């Protein structure tokens, strides 16, 4: 009887070990999935930050370009009357001549 009892305990211990190993594998797989999700989200956040930075730089450049264009636009309109010497602008009104970039 002792031998049979020991065999039952051994089988029971082996079954428990197998069950615990299966649980451990499942948890390892779950952890790998979570780490993969974390890496994916971190990469996506990094890409979004880079995209926002590019947009911010583009907006800044656009603002600088608009300011420059406004200065040129205002200076052209405020410039003293003059006529452009180019053939395509000849014969136009003074208002057009003030707007003509060739005249400067």
Is the pLDDT reported for residue 60 higher than 70? Answer: yes
What average pLDDT score do residues 42-57 get?
92
Q: Under 8 Å CB-to-CB from 11, ≥6 apart: which residues? A: none
pLDDT per residue as tens digits for the range 3-13: 899 999 999 99
pTM of the model: 0.49
Residue ranges of domains in the chain? 2-103
What per-residue string of b and e applies to 59-79 under the rule 16 or more CB within 10 Å gives b?
A: eeeeeeeeeeeeeeeeeeeee
In the numeric block, the tokens 């009357």 are attached to: 81
Angle at Cα 60 formed by Cα 59 and Cα 65, nearest 5°? Answer: 95
Which of 87, 74, 79 is closest to 104 using CA atoms?
79
């Amino acid at each position: 009887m002792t031998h049979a009892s020991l065999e039952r305990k051994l089988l029971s211990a082996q079954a428990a070990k197998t069950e615990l190993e299966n649980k451990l594998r499942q948890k390892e797989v779950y952890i790998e999935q979570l780490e993969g999700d974390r890496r994916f989200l971190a990469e996506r956040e990094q890409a979004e930050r880079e995209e926002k930075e590019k947009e911010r730089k583009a907006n800044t450049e656009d603002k600088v370009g608009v300011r420059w264009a406004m200065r040129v636009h205002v200076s052209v309109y405020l410039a003293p009357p003059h006529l452009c010497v180019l053939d395509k602008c000849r014969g136009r009104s003074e208002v057009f001549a003030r707007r003509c970039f060739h005249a400067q």
